[in-house]
A and B are shown apart, each in its own frame.
Chain A
């Protein structure tokens, strides 16, 4: 299937580029499925992979009434003003992806959420990987280059990872300097299930606030969150991730690389070990390249014998010694600095398909080319 999704929407070259920076392939190269939402309009929804369905939210709930048992289960309607706003919509919009038992998409599905004018874009997404299924999704979120004050995105996402199943969800943001973004998401992971959540934000945005939670309810279930972010002047990123280890053998790893170039980053993290034989590690490393704020708030909470939790957090600057070391190999100061920053942001995610790791690398490489 080679559909040019871009033909379905009227996008100028600049906006196409912004979507490309978010990991969206409008030509559908290396993608097995796609969901495209412009503002509140669903433009496209398809998947060619056997056993996997990509449906608009409203259609999915109509087609599969049992889905109502999944909606608003992990994220509560009354959680805050943003969830209430989305829950109150008469015409809910978003996508549902169901990976049936044993299915597997080698090429990822892309979900494109594009905000083209000053309004609140709201979405509600449900992703389900049934027993033994493997589902890989890249979510590219972007706004048009000219969208100004008043643009906002409220996104509810609920992930259900079945027994021996796996979901990887890679979200790359390319919002604008005036856009506010409030994702609200949670995942439930069953026995031997794996949930990977990756977040990349290299572009200026007014505000992002999110604190997704993984409920590890099955034995030997795993959650890994990784965030790679840069905050420029005027950007406020309040990010976090939380893992509740409530089954024996479950484990979680929360990794953040944060760079402030004058912006504010609050990096939260919380791992709660509720039963024995559980492990969790939380890591936040921050670089301040221009006066700004990186506020790391790591929390580990163990309540039983046999849970092993750890955290490390460090905020600092690039060591002059490292810059000079690279300069002695012939790199000028700017290139040496950028090379070190690129290395700092280089987080390899265990279990992530190459195509998605490359997409993350490409987003960071693009930021490197523009001098971070």
Chain B
């Protein structure tokens, strides 16, 4: 579904990602780990096409199409979606109105989706204005549910979320990624950034990757990688040059 080849990205004048290579197949969920500032969020923002992330070399191919230079909304319309770690607040714009813009003016269905995420009381609220950490995440998952992307990127979906909300969000994300569908028939893929790994309880991720200093250093079983990181931290990853 997604193929990243030799990707180099600059923010301002500084190269932040160097020679990133990654392939995510249909129905697969990959996990990206790495220390703060290693470039994980930059990779997601680049895949979505945000303006400040300048691809200087390499390609991003999505379902066989080179989307490296495609505008954000066209990537979204092709089925790429992102859950932001810290989305902006948009004063005056109601969550319900944005959902109607992406999903269509079907208020009953939107209300049902919102109820499932315990967000029905927020449809008339300004997007993210005064939302708690958990409410922001639920709002993001709700927006993605309405958008129904084929390739889902999640930037730390569990950060700032209490245990009760993690379960709610985890199950909703699992549904977004069709974890309830047999692997043979599953069409949706995902790339998930996580620090704690709590979200893995709901995702059954297929592969894990560690990013350090703007490069993907190693691949492997996501739970085993997480176990190593929890035991030894990222020091060995930073020193590792084996890739």
Interface residues of chain A, those whose CB is within 8 Å of chain B, are 319-322, 324-333, 335-336, 339-340, 342-346
**Shortest beta-carbon distance, B70 to chain A, in Å?**
11
Q: Which of B50, B77, B88 contacts A319 (CB 8 A)?
A: B88
Q: Does B168 contact A (CB under 8 A)?
A: no
B77 and A346 form a contact (CB under 8 A):
no
Tell me whether B91 and A324 are in contact (CB under 8 A).
Answer: no
Which of A320, A329, A345, A346 has the most chain B CB atoms closer than 10 A to its own CB? A329
The interface residues of chain A lying within 8 Å CB-to-CB of B88 are 319, 321-322, 325
Residues of A within 8 A of B81 (CB): 328-329
**Complex CA distance for A83 and B126, rounded to whole angstroms:** 42
Q: Is there a chain A Cβ closer than 8 Å to B161's Cβ?
A: no
Alpha-carbon separation in the docked complex, A327 to B91 (Å): 17
Whether A328 contacts B98 by the Cβ 8 Å rule is no
Is the Cβ of B92 less than 8 Å from the Cβ of A344?
Answer: yes
CB under 8 Å from chain A, chain B span 35-83: 48, 50-51, 71-73, 76-77, 81-82
**Contacting A324 at CB < 8 Å: which of B51, B93, B97, B101?**
B51
**Interface residues of B, dominant DSSP:** mixed
B72 touches A343 (CB 8 A): no
Q: Give chain B interface residues in 104-150, CB to chain A under 8 Å.
A: 126, 143, 147
Contact of A342 with B93 at beta-carbon distance under 8 Å, contacts A325-B87, A328-B81, A329-B143 already known: yes
Instruction: Find chain B residues with CB under 8 A from A345 CB.
Output: 92
Q: How far is the CB of B138 from chain A (nearest CB, A)?
A: 16
Could you list which residues of chain B lie within 8 angstroms of chain A, going by C-beta atoms? 48, 50-51, 71-73, 76-77, 81-82, 84, 87-88, 90-94, 97-98, 101-102, 126, 143, 147
CB within 8 Å for A340 and B93 given contacts A325-B87, A329-B98, A329-B101: yes
Known pairs A343-B97, A346-B92; A324 contacts B50 (CB<8 A): yes
Q: Give the interface SS of chain A, mostly helix, strand, loop or mixed.
A: helix
Pairwise interchain contact A329-B76, C-beta atoms closer than 8 A? yes
Known: A325-B87, A343-B92, A344-B92. A330 touches B102 (CB 8 A): yes
Nearest CB in chain B: distance from A315 CB, A: 14
- Please tell me if the beta carbons of B90 and A336 are within 8 angstroms of each other in the complex: no
Alpha-carbon gap, A319 to B88, bound state (A): 9
For B143, the chain A residues whose CB sits under 8 A away are 329
Known contacts A319-B88, A320-B51, A322-B88: A328-B93 contact under CB 8 Å: no
A325 and B90 contact, CB distance less than 8 A: yes
- Inter-chain contact B90/A328, CB cutoff 8 Å: no
Q: What A residues does B84 contact at CB under 8 A?
A: 325
- Which chain B residues border A346 with CB–CB below 8 Å? 92-94
When the two chains form their complex, are residues B51 and A343 in contact, meaning their CB atoms are under 8 A apart?
no
Contact at B73–A330, with CB atoms within 8 Å?
yes
CA distance A342 to B91 in the complex (A): 10
**Which B residues are CB-close (under 8 A) to A333?**
71, 73
Q: Inside 8 A of A329's CB, which chain B residues have their CB?
A: 76, 81, 98, 101-102, 143, 147
CB of B126 to closest CB in A, whole Å = 7
